[in-house]
């Protein structure tokens, strides 16, 4: 947690962090919506307008072609090895910006200023960077910790509820990995009524859960794989939607991915089926209905490309109970297809 700053004055904190850099060495990456809604809140941070690169919005901006444009932007403006790239935005911006910074001149520093709930509790923390490639999520990337992460929940007031749901899915995942008390708190909360001030302690707790895991296994050789819970199915759902041209938020995919992998947990490790039912009621009550963009067979084929697979089958993290996870569970087609059918018929 040493590189994470929780604040209610993001502009002041960012200005302080940038004092060590000459004005010509400060660069920023953002997207159109964030530039419009959040950049004014950072107006005094000390980055000249001509050193701000506005990337494409959404998953279309998470490509190697977009990274090349960022590198060209930095080169054309004379960015040196001691430059810093400030990534201001959601998970796409922090993923792409982190990847671009980690490779440019063999690595320049970056600072993340996450402005969405998803980025604050997940994408900007932990040092994973990357882009999509040939329809596969995060296929190309690096492990590169940002110099600092500045988290200010004031930015959350700019978000539509659908964007809050994306981050809430990751918070639910962290709670499932942590224990029943944390999970009960999130299941009972009414997200649509929560203010940025009320979300602040919940964001801090969620980040703490992830940070402890990352510190114990920074490059995902063991226990950090637990953080992929819900994402093996979730990334397949997201990739299928992207290929079909459907609008499917990361949080939507992860929410239904959590349900599918909890179903597997019931079958393989005796996870409480009544808790699965409670969790399913929460998800189906607040998230859009699951509309398959691919058949279960096609989704299974996508999962076979998952980076965690090191032997035959698909590698999952599963749960015995909240707070009791088991990594490296290899499941076969006959085990996975019923889980995909389960979320189809909710």
Active-site residues: which are they?
Answer: 106, 128, 170, 210, 220, 224, 228, 231, 235, 250
Helix (H) or strand (E) holding 317: strand 314-321
Q: Which residues contact 115 (CB under 8 A, 6 or more apart)?
A: 34, 37, 38, 88, 89, 90, 155, 156, 158
What torsion do the CA atoms of 148, 151, 156, 162 make, to the nearest 10 degrees? 60
The tally of CA atoms less than 13 A away on the side-chain side of residue 97 is 34
Task: Please calculate the CA angle 32-38-42 and round it to the nearest 5 degrees.
Answer: 120
Which string of DSSP letters, residue by residue, matches 109-164?
A: EEEEEE-SHHIIIIITSSSB--EEETTEEEEE--B---SEEEE-GGGGGGS-HHHH
SS3 at position 4: strand
Which string of DSSP letters, residue by residue, matches 255-313?
A: HHHHHHHHHHHHHHH---HHHHHHHHHHHHHHSPPP--SS-HHHHHHHHTT-TT--SSS
Please count the residues of the chain: 346
Q: Which residues contact 289 (CB under 8 A, 6 or more apart)?
A: none
C-alpha distances in angstroms, 236 versus 128, 193, 240, 250, 293? 19, 31, 6, 11, 10
């Amino acid at each position: 947690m040493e590189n994470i700053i929780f604040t209610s004055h993001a502009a002041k904190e960012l200005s302080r962090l940038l004092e060590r850099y000459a004005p010509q060495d400060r660069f920023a990456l953002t997207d159109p919506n964030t530039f419009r809604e959040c950049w004014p809140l950072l107006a005094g941070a000390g980055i000249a307008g001509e050193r701000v690169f506005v990337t494409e919005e959404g998953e279309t901006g998470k490509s190697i072609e977009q990274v090349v444009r960022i590198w060209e932007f930095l080169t054309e403006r004379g960015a040196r090895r001691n430059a810093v790239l400030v990534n201001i935005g959601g998970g796409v911006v922090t993923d792409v910006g982190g990847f671009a910074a980690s490779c440019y001149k063999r690595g320049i520093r970056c600072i993340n200023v996450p402005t969405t709930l998803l980025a604050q509790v997940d994408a900007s923390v932990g040092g994973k960077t990357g882009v999509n490639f040939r329809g596969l999520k995060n296929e190309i990337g690096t492990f590169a910790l940002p110099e600092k992460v500045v988290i200010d929940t004031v930015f959350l007031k700019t978000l539509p509820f659908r964007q809050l749901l994306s981050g809430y899915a990751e918070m639910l995942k962290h709670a499932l990995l942590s224990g029943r008390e944390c999970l009960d708190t999130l299941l009972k909360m009414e997200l649509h009524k929560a203010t940025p001030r009320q979300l602040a302690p919940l964001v801090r707790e969620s980040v703490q859960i992830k940070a402890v895991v990352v510190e114990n296994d920074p490059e995902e050789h063991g226990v950090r794989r637990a953080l992929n819970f819900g994402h093996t199915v979730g990334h397949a759902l997201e990739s299928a939607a992207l290929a079909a041209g459907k609008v499917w938020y990361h949080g939507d995919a992860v929410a239904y991915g959590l349900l599918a992998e909890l179903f597997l947990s019931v079958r393989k490790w005796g996870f409480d089926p009544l808790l699965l039912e409670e969790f399913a009621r929460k998800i189906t009550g607040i998230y859009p209905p699951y509309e398959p963009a691919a058949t279960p067979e096609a989704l299974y084929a996508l999962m076979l490309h998952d980076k965690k697979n090191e032997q035959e089958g698909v590698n999952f993290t599963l749960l015995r109970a909240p707070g009791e996870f088991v990594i490296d569970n290899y499941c076969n087609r006959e085990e996975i297809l019923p889980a995909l059918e389960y979320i189809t018929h909710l």
